[in-house]
Amino acid sequence: MLHALSLGMVLFGLWLLLSGFFEPLLLSLGVGSVIAVVWIAYRMDVVDHEGHPIHLTIRAIFYWPWLILEIIKANIHVAGVILRRKMPISPSFVEVKATQETELGQVIYANSITLTPGTVTIAIEKDIFSVHTLTRTATEHLQTGDMDRRVTAMEAHSTDEQNKSGSSS
């Protein structure tokens, strides 16, 4: 039930942010639509710790700024590669091992790789990710394992917190 309430608050906040309307009729229609969406999602049994991972909130607040900075740095790198007269690209496929314990952690890691320009996650086989990289620099950066460690740290802390809350109910 906590996930459903949290989802409702997030959806209503997003609706307010995107619409900007504060008239009573439109606010009530927004509330009604959020309630309908949350009810449908709840009935479909997709409102859970993976569908709406509120247990990651605190760690994600620290992970997202780091990821945004990495995306900006990769954008600058890829733009520099494109603007050079002789583009120094060396496309390749690399396999990296993921250390996340849950599917949600692996999805966050795979999406983080794909969001970073110059790298795309192509396939996932258990804990091995096949990634296409555009340059050697992108390959080397991926193979340092920094992103993997950060996602694992975010997931590990939230998994511990979830186990504590799950065992007390």
Residue 168 has pLDDT above 60, yes or no: no
How confident is the model over 136-149, as pLDDT tens digits? 999 999 999 999 99
**Which pLDDT does position 157 carry in this prediction?**
52
**Which pLDDT does position 85 carry in this prediction?**
86
Helix (H) or strand (E) holding 34: helix 24-43
Among 89-93, 97-101, 131-135, 161-165, the least confident range: 161-165
Amino acid symbol at 36: A
**Whole-prediction pTM value?**
0.74
Amino acid symbol at 27: L
**Which pLDDT does position 96 carry in this prediction?**
96
Residue 135 has pLDDT above 80, yes or no: yes
* Spatial CA neighbour of 161 closest among 53, 46, 42: 53
Q: What is the mean pLDDT of residues 116-136?
A: 95
Give Cβ neighbours of residue 21 (< 8 Å, ≥ 6 apart): 27, 30
